[in-house]
Amino acid sequence: MPVLDREPSKDSGDGLPKLPLPSLKDTLEMYLRCMKHLLTEEQFDKTQNVVKQFGAPGGVGELLQSKLMERRENKANWVYNYWLNDMYLNNRLALPVNSSPAMVFPKQNFRAPIDSLRFAAHLISGVLEYKTLLDARALPVDYARGQLAGTPLCMEQYYRLFTSYRLPGPESDTLVAQESSVMPEPEHIIVACKNQFFVMDVVINFRRLNERDLLTQLEKIVKMAESEEERLPPIGLLTSDGRTEWAESRSVLMRESTNRDSLDMIERCLCLVCLDDSSGPELSDTTRAMLMLHGGGVAKNGGNRWYDKPMQFVIGADGCCGVVCEHSPFEGIVLVQCTEYLLKYMIGSPSKLVRAASVSELPAPRRLRWKCTPEVHKLLTSSADKLRRLVRNLDMNVHKFYDYGKEFIKKQKMSPDAYIQVALQLAFYRCHGRLVSTYESASIRRFQEGRVDNIRSATPEALAFVKAMTDGKLSTGDTEKMEMLRGAINAQTKYTILAITGMAIDNHLLGLREIAHEMKIDKPEIFKDEAYLISNQFILSTSQVPTTVEMFCCYGPVVPNGYGACYNPQSDHIIFSVSSFRESPQTCSAEFVKCLVQGLLDMRDLCRKCNSGSKPDEQGKAQTLDTHTQTETDWQNKTPQRRSDSTNSQPTIPQVLVKTPDQANAEVQTQTSSQGEALKNGSKS
């Protein structure tokens, strides 16, 4: 199989422009501006000198910049490989929680075991339909919305959804792509059930299996998985370990030909479907989010996974469903688009469980066999222990904020994304009394092979605003606070535009660092400086992942003392998924959510008091900047979707209902008062 951590094909962007290379001067100036207020005076003085030396005429910075310019000429995307390796492949942390995000579906109402299998068969049917579109390259091109609206976006990431695999390595992983005429297209999926793995062919004798056949095969798999004497150890646990440990375990497995064959079948499959056992009585949003991220560890469904595969569809017998994705081949936006297609397919096309002519002729699915030496058993015990610790460590809090949503923010002539980012800065400042390096992913898909750059949301303007909002001395008047809020939002908006047009600083600094390494010159002082290390410690890692179907995204923090904060703005409410680690004495997700809610209410009150002062010329900006992080398609103005509590839909159809705004509003008002009370007492939602 060809490897994808090389530069992708020249024509992959289909006529899109190449990613620009910012000027060295602009990046160094912006770097100092981004860091000054996050450093001590002493640290900043040192950094200023180091940066001046790096950017001096005829200095090392200019040399590296000229080499990057050459690289830009010769590559489809000058930063792609550097970024992929730095962000994912060189990272040695375990994939669950630390790297792999999850989409959490509304809780499904399965009344009998067969219902979850019907749901799975229907979902697999949707996957095969979507794969047909991908294979025909018939997926409509995404176009940017808002700022620079109408720009076509690079579609390459979609074509890796079902054809790639992250192979662990001792020092660096490899993203493997099955784009080869030699290798046959994968025509099977892997079904995980009771920690056992089964090969289920989805194309037999050149015919795609219909839903009835898929259901029959799933029923056979469940029967086979229940057989106690056939049961094999939970090999999937090994994939939940650190990448170097898993690479070592994999090489141990590879000594046996039986294991090599099993690994080959998993590595070449379309995707995984994980049929999970029930996880326990309490299935709140927060619990479902945690279960999607780590499976509940070895005691629950933690071994019923294979984390190297990009798409794992999880279907729990208790209705706990969602998707876990390996992040290196694609961004969250692609995961959302694919998942929304599948859920809409399931709502829009009734389950086709017609009686097939002759079900009996279907060959039985095959159980994957493993030869487990005492050494493998020892490795499994070690992986299980580490996963158990990770499960205990994750502190997750999913909060649905019902006091207002993006419609209220738009009425203030502000960008909802920028507004929420400022609210996150206010929450962090309230909790910790300082601001820290913040990561907000910004899509650069306007360019060939574009992935993301970083919006540095902890701006000097945000700091001025949060200080004014938390200063107990009442020295700042409301009008002044409102000006500061607008200043913070404008600064956020400006940086967002820089990032989505390829002019932000993080990718550029990474490129300069990596090209120095390639040229085998001593690491420049700027990259050894304390400020650079601080700038890359993303204690607050954030992402906007909006959806038009009722579901939400979640992920873990990227540093031990950090927060992961994912948000999904809807017209009348906002869903926040906040994560941190219990082992860090500095962080607490419930406390962060409490401060976030307080800040959102304070910002609303401020806007209401000063509402008459909003400037009409800013109206356009608010509309155009509604989207620009990972949002690239028009999800912004859809009807809010919430599930009614008494749902009567068929179990095979996902319980995702579309409501009229009036119905939704009536329901929200009943929720708000009780939720407000709960928050005053600091309780989790």
The residues annotated with a catalytic role in the active site are 327
Q: Which tokens belong to 16?
A: 């899109």
Contact 555, 579 (CB under 8 A): yes
Cα of first residue to Cα of last residue in the chain, in angstroms, is 47
Q: Burial level of 132, CB count in 10 A (0-12/13-18/19+)?
A: exposed
C-alpha–C-alpha distance, residues 222 and 412, integer Å: 54
Main-chain dihedrals φ then ψ at residue 572, nearest 5 degrees:
-120, 5
Q: Which long-range contacts (CB under 8 A, 24 or more apart) does 335-339 make?
A: 335/101, 335/103, 335/553, 336/103, 336/545, 336/546, 336/547, 336/553, 337/142, 337/158, 337/633, 338/130, 338/158, 338/161, 338/311, 339/103, 339/549, 339/551
- The CA distances from residue 666 to 260, 402, 547, 670, 678, in Å, are 58, 12, 21, 7, 20
Q: Give the type of residue at 516.
A: A
The answer to whether residues 400 and 285 touch, using CB atoms and an 8 Å cutoff, is yes
3-state SS record for 434-448: CCCCEEEEEECCCCC
Residue 411 CB coordination number (10 Å) = 14
Q: Are 541 and 563 in contact (CB under 8 A)?
A: yes
Burial 568-605 (b: 16+ CB within 10 A, else e): bbbbbbbbbbbbbbeebeebbbbbbbbbbbbbbbbbbe
Residue 680 CB neighbour total at 10 angstroms: 11
CB atoms within 10 A of CB 458: 25
Closest to 622 in 3D by CA, of 410, 405, 404, 406: 410
Strand 438-443, strand 366-367: pairing: unpaired
Q: For residue 302, give the amino acid letter.
A: G
R_g of the chain, CA atoms, integer Å: 25
Give the Cβ contact number of residue 491 at 10 Å.
Answer: 19
Only one residue has tokens 């912006």, namely 30
What residue type is 21 in one-letter code?
Answer: L
Who contacts 646 (Cβ-Cβ below 8 Å, separation ≥6)? none
CA torsion sign for 87, 89, 90, 96 is positive
- Do the beta carbons of residue 3 and residue 174 sit within 8 Å? yes
Task: Write the single-letter amino acid at 285.
Answer: D
Q: Are the C-beta atoms of residues 325 and 102 closer than 8 Å to each other?
A: yes
User: How many secondary structure helices (H) and strands (E) does the chain include?
Assistant: 20, 18
How would you classify the pairing of strands 311-316 and 272-276? parallel
